[in-house]
Structure 1
């Protein structure tokens, strides 16, 4: 089975334990993404799936495994997702373990499934972490809150958050990214 990983953020430049069998390619599925997740281990606002956002380009790479469970585990380990939240690793087929809520909206999963059919692959994995702001899971910050949060960072925390935004590929143009560039001057480094 040929399995790909779909990515849009730090997986692209820091794949960690993901065993990639190809380089990242720029023609991934168009997905709704936004900077709406407080990172668990840094001060950045991470780019995650966010159904209200307009779709933007993503990247994909072939994984060096033919086992979907192995692909899911590689991504879970890379994203430091606790084993108690397996649904935060999206995959097709088998998007969610039985009995768990699906964090990837059905329409987004359908778009990924349609994209898979246009490639010579049988399966895909992606990060399905929900929005989180001010410690509240599934709460997305407004554009004003996101800008105020980022603008309020100082020192190393601000430098890290800025580097994260700048490293996101330039063609991933979200509403918040445009505002961050306009207000904070954090333009793409690539």
Structure 2
């Protein structure tokens, strides 16, 4: 089974335990992305799927496994998703384990499925973490709240957040990204 991982942020430069069988390719599906999540283990903002955001380009890489459960586990471990929250790892087929809510909107799943058919991909995994702001899951900050949060960081926390924002691929141009560049001067590093 040909299984790929779809990525748009730090997975592409820090794959961690993901066993990649190819380099990251720039022609992944167009998906709605925005900086609407506070990272769980650092002060960096996280670029995540956000249904109301305009579609952005993504990357994909072939995984060195033919087992979807193994692919899901690699991504879960990389993203430090708790085992009791398997729905935050999206996948096709079977985007959500039975009995759990579907965090990835149906339209996004359909777009991924169409992309998979066009690229002769049998299975895919992606990060399906929701928006989170000020410790409240599924609460997306406004663009101004996100910028104010980042502007309020200091020292290592600010440097880490800035490095993350600057490393986002230059072809991902979200509303929040533009405002962060304008207000904080955090332009792409590549």
Instruction: Tell me what 1:55 maps to.
Output: 55
Counterpart secondary structure, 2:78: helix
What is the rounded CA distance, in whole Å, between the counterparts of 2:3 and 2:31 in structure 1? 18
Aligned residue in 2 for 1:80: 80
Quick one: distance in 2 between partners of 1:173 and 1:84? 33
Q: Deviation digits for residues 150-174 of structure 1, max 9, x if unmatched?
A: 0000100000000000001000110
- Pairwise CA distance, 1:121: 1.4
Distance 2:30 2:172 in 1: 10
Which residue number corresponds to residue 151 of structure 2? Answer: 151
Distance 1:117 1:187 in 2: 35
Match of 2:177 in 1: 177
Give TM-score, length-normalised by structure 2: 0.99
Q: 3-state SS of the aligned residue for 2:11? A: coil
State how far apart, in whole Å, the 1-side matches of 2:13 and 2:144 are: 28
- SS of residue in 1 equivalent to 2:183: helix
Question: Unmatched 5+ residue regions in structure 2?
Answer: none
Length, aligned pairs only: 190
Q: What whole-Å deviation, never above 9, does each CA across 1:128-166 have from its counterpart, x for those lacking one?
A: 000000000000000110010000001000000000000
Q: Deviations over 1:60-101 (max 9, x none)?
A: 000000000000000000000000100000000000000000
CA RMSD of aligned residues (A): 0.4
Q: Quote the residue 1:16 is aligned against.
A: 16
Counterparts of residues 155-170 of structure 1 (less than 5 Å): 155-170=155-170
1:134-149 counterparts in 2 under 5 A?
134-149=134-149
TM-score (norm 1): 0.99
Q: Distance in 2 between matches of 1:121 and 1:52?
A: 27
